[in-house]
A and B are shown apart, each in its own frame.
Chain A
């Protein structure tokens, strides 16, 4: 067997606990380009790379979000949408391109270090502490802050009133939409300079989806730029200032949300006409 510290297929969960960390900092081996003064607030430019020693999934892919904007990444299944976002967040081995936040290259930082730099990230699944109360989830979100975070918590409660109501309840007992609100709230607790959401509406009903999009717009109105991966392309593009259509790890189309919705090729190829 190639992995001496593998488990020989052992599934003995009575003596071991699954679910250890899968979060790994990617390695950066590209050349940071010169910072342009008028570039977007957060940009992953010309990113090329894949997981570990695996094949490249992204090819010269560029994703950016401006201050005060919502940018969405859409595309068919397996297009590398989530991968592109993880690359921006540093969970991928980049072999080319650069990631810059507010003009500073952060391509060599670990995901944790990027959180400290001001990036908020909401994973697609397992994005809350299910056994902890809603309030404790928010507290954990603010773990890196040394100052008083009660004001931020009030702001989160203002944005998501349902969370205030359920703040003493275990987060795992909430409904799907409410859990996503906890997840976004947790990420907001660091007062991020940019918020990244990986398919925030995966697996929720259409009504809840609409409500979640409303909340996301509200978050954006507080001035936090949002970069989001979405399965529901049409609804997402409707609220997007900027849209990126990825196909097989490459930028296929980009433009404002409205432009893309109007683009006949985009409509035909994957908005369903």
Chain B
């Protein structure tokens, strides 16, 4: 069996799974899986760029996803004018002060001769700057958060079309990745893993806490959409007529059309990212990246600037993840920092990459769809299984109740099992790197 045929069969099998879900649970469910599958595939490509191409171990995927989501909010939500009036200036001044403090401290570190005096100067600048920053920042944010706390209580966004938030999400994630990479990769390549893990947690803490920014755990809901709303479609006579021509209920038809519209947008992004990643992989740049991965010492000896290359691909991969994060927030139409958990947003993406095949972009796409399908479908399948297992038990049996409840946790077990089985029996993934 040729590779091409094999891969087509694999993609066909996953498509069949999703279609099957559509037949059993309705087209709506299938389209939900497709949409998140598209987003997952893009995230997986981002991680694959870093791990598959360059061997960089990024376990802070969640942070970049969340930054993308933040960008969607900051671009698409309408600005809160009163909040800007109340404390907008203060917040900006405070942030500038904070940045100035850090820059000053870095300058002192670079310019002053080494010694206790330099340390003292840095400490004075950092501590003094911190309190100065807080003295401007705290009243400003309190003022912002006091403006209609139940409805807004934050500065709001720019009120632009949400699609603009997608590339901006990529930029935001890229900026954060540049900072992380510059610190962790620049000094020594060793600490990336733990640095990314930490930065992801911090990003989530910031999103949860800084209510003035994106309402924290109060969540931003009702993001404007890039596609029409169902109610508008249902109100449109032309649409109702068209639905009737197809013999469909306009309510159901509108839900499907909206999801199809999302799917079309996401597919477009996926194609762009996939083509870009493939071109990058086959370009001299991509070949060099893999050469560095396979033998860093030799590449270094040949005069390749390994750290610089690593920084490039780290930023690029993170940007792709950020775009996907913004797309996900757009699809959900809300930003809920409380729901960002590493198991779901970091390690699950890793499972997709490994299962799909490290180093192969098509593998990442396949892994994205397959693993997302399992993540969604394992729970109902578990329920069916548990109902079968417990069908013989008495209805008031505690074990039965527990088993039925626990079906909800099957997805963790399944993900672990899938990852371990693939690592053991297909260590190079379903679609191996060529």
Given the complex, which residues of B lie within 8 Å of A12, measured CB to CB?
A: 57, 189-193
* List of B residues within 8 angstroms of A8 by Cβ: 51-52, 55, 293, 358-359
Decide yes or no: A15 and B193 within 8 Å by CB, A1-B359, A4-B427, A10-B55 being known contacts. Answer: yes
* Chain B: minimal CB distance from A9 (Å): 4
Centre residue among A4, A5, A9, A13 by max chain B CB count within 10 A? A9
- Chain A residue with the shortest CB-CB distance to B291: A9
Q: Is B201's CB within 8 Å of the partner chain A?
A: no
Also in contact, A4 and B428, with CB within 8 A (given A10-B55, A10-B57, A11-B296): yes
Whether A14 pairs with B359 at a CB distance below 8 angstroms is no
Report the bound CA distance from A4 to B427 in whole Å: 6
Q: Compute how far the CA of A13 lies from the CA of B192 in the bound complex, rounded to whole angstroms.
A: 9
B38 is an interface residue with CB less than 8 A from chain A: no
Q: Is the CB of A9 within 8 A of B57?
A: no
A21 → chain B closest CB, angstroms: 20
A7 at the B interface (CB under 8 A): yes
Per DSSP, chain B at the interface is helix
B51 pairs with A14, CB closer than 8 A: no
Q: Check if B138 is an interface residue, CB within 8 A of chain A.
A: no
Q: How far is the CA of A15 from the CA of B56 in the complex (A)?
A: 12
What 0/1 readout, one digit per residue, does chain B (338-369) give for beta carbons within 8 Å of chain A?
00000000000000000000110000000000
Q: Kindly identify which residue among A7, A9, A10, A14 contacts B191, using a CB–CB cutoff of 8 Å.
A: A14
Nearest opposing residue in chain A for B56, CB measure: A10
Task: Report the Cα distance A7→B294, complex, angstroms.
Answer: 9
Count of interface residues, chain B, beta-carbon cutoff 8 Å: 22
The residues of B that contact A11 with a CB separation of less than 8 Å are: 55, 189-190, 296
CA gap between A8 and B293 in the complex, in Å: 6
User: In the complex, what distance in Å separates the CA atom of A15 from the CA atom of B292?
Assistant: 20
Chain A window 1-42, contacts with chain B (Cβ cutoff 8 Å), 1 for yes, 0 for no: 100110111111111000000000000000000000000000
Q: Which of B57-102 contact A (CB under 8 A)?
A: 57
Contact B194 A15 (CB under 8 A): yes
Q: Contact between B296 and A9 (Cβ–Cβ < 8 Å)?
A: yes
**Nearest CB in chain B: distance from A181 CB, A:** 33
Q: Contact at A9–B293, with CB atoms within 8 Å?
A: yes
B54 at the interface (CB under 8 A from A): yes
- CA of A10 to CA of B54 in the docked complex: distance in angstroms? 8
Q: Answer whether residue B402 sits at the interface, using C-beta atoms and an 8 A cutoff.
A: no
- Bound CA–CA A141/B347 (angstroms): 43
Residues 187-205 of chain B: 1 if any A CB is under 8 Å from the residue's CB, otherwise 0?
A: 0011111100000000000
Instruction: Tell me whether B55 and A9 are in contact (CB under 8 A).
Output: yes
Please indicate which of the listed interface residues B55, B189, B358 has the most CB atoms of chain A within 10 Å of its own CB: B55
Query: How long is the Cα–Cα vector from A12 to B427 in the complex, in angstroms?
Result: 20
- Enumerate chain B residues within 8 angstroms of A1, measured Cβ to Cβ: 294, 359, 428, 433
Assess whether B359 is in contact with A9, with CB atoms less than 8 Å apart: no
Task: List A contacts of B56 (CB < 8 A).
Answer: 10
B194 touches A9 (CB 8 A): no
The answer for the CA separation of A149 and B292 in the assembled complex, in Å, is 51
The answer to whether the Cβ of B295 comes within 8 Å of any Cβ in the partner chain is yes
**Contact in complex: B427, A9 (CB < 8 Å):** no
Complex CA gap A14/B198 in Å reads 13
Give every chain A residue within 8 A of B359 (Cβ-Cβ). Answer: 1, 8
B residues near A14, Cβ cutoff 8 Å: 190-194
| In the bound complex, CA of A11 to CA of B299 (Å) | 14
Bound Cα distance A8, B290 (Å): 9
What is the bound-complex CA distance between A150 and B259, given in angstroms? Answer: 79
For residue B293, which residues in chain A have a CB less than 8 angstroms away from its CB?
A: 8-9
| Residue of B54, B57, B359 with most partner-chain A CB within 10 A | B57
4 other contacts beyond A1-B428, A12-B193, A14-B191, with CB at 8 A cut-off? A1-B359, A9-B55, A11-B189, A15-B193
Chain A residues close to B by CB (< 8 Å):
1, 4-5, 7-15
**Could you pull out 27 A-B pairs where Cβ atoms are within 8 angstroms?**
A1-B294, A1-B428, A1-B433, A4-B427, A8-B52, A8-B293, A8-B358, A8-B359, A9-B54, A9-B55, A9-B292, A9-B293, A9-B295, A9-B296, A10-B55, A10-B56, A10-B57, A11-B55, A12-B57, A12-B191, A12-B193, A13-B190, A14-B190, A14-B193, A14-B194, A15-B57, A15-B193
CB-based closest 3 A-B pairs: A4-B427, A8-B55, A9-B293
